[in-house]
């Protein structure tokens, strides 16, 4: 809020504004550098090319997220910092198999109780080069809000 107030004051004063990465991304979690070594919770294939989440999904959970998932309580709540990354690949069909082809993007969600407008989660997406993709976190939340019993998380840990 203070930063927004400062920017507003700068605009009012006609000052040049440098929007830093830190400011622009205040609500967008970074792509965790090590997620590829996190535990894969599940995978799924969304086959409809018109679906917002079209693609072959690989869902990774960090340790705090995994702990909550594995507690197996229906009312699992996640501690701040619990995070998921969904790597989404082009589904490639060949000879009766579907495999993940080229990466489409990585989607991140991180628990942060301060993000009240989006259910206590921050969302972000990155292209295969690691560059942020503009997303509507409210739309992410609107869909996930249906999973109220699991803190709006769809994924379950599959043994």
Residues that bind a second copy (CB under 8 A): 36-37, 39-40, 42-48, 51, 56, 58, 89, 96-100, 103, 158-159
Q: How far is the CB of 90 from a second copy (least distance, A)?
A: 12
Between 118 and 150, CB nearer to a second copy = 150
Q: Which two tokens stand for residue 144?
A: 């996930």
Between 79 and 98, CB nearer to a second copy = 98
Per-residue buried b or exposed e for 10-34, using 16+ beta carbons within 10 Å of the residue's own CB: eeeeeeeeeeeeeeeeeebbebbee
Place of tokens 């994924």: 155
Between 70 and 120, CB nearer to a second copy = 70
Instruction: Give 141's Cβ-side CA count (13 Å radius).
Output: 14
Rounded distance between C-alpha atoms, residue 146 and residue 128, angstroms: 29
Q: Which two tokens stand for residue 8?
A: 């507003």
Q: How far is the CB of 49 from a second copy (least distance, A)?
A: 10
Q: How far is the CB of 84 from a second copy (least distance, A)?
A: 14
Q: How far is the CB of 149 from a second copy (least distance, A)?
A: 18
Between 56 and 121, CB nearer to a second copy = 56
């Amino acid at each position: 809020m203070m930063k927004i107030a400062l920017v507003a004051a700068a605009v009012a004063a006609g000052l040049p504004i440098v929007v830093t990465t830190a400011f622009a991304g205040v609500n967008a979690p970074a792509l965790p550098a090590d997620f590829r070594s996190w535990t894969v919770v599940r995978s799924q294939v969304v086959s409809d090319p018109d679906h917002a989440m079209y693609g072959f999904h690989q869902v990774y959970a960090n340790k705090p997220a995994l702990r909550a998932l594995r507690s197996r309580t229906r009312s699992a709540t996640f501690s701040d910092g619990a995070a998921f990354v969904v790597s989404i690949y082009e589904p490639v069909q060949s000879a009766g198999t579907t495999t993940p082809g080229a990466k489409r993007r990585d989607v991140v969600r991180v628990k942060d109780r301060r993000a009240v407008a989006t259910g206590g989660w921050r969302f972000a997406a990155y292209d295969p080069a690691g560059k942020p993709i503009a997303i509507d976190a409210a739309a992410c939340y609107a869909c996930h809000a249906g999973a109220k019993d699991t803190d709006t998380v769809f994924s379950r840990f599959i043994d």
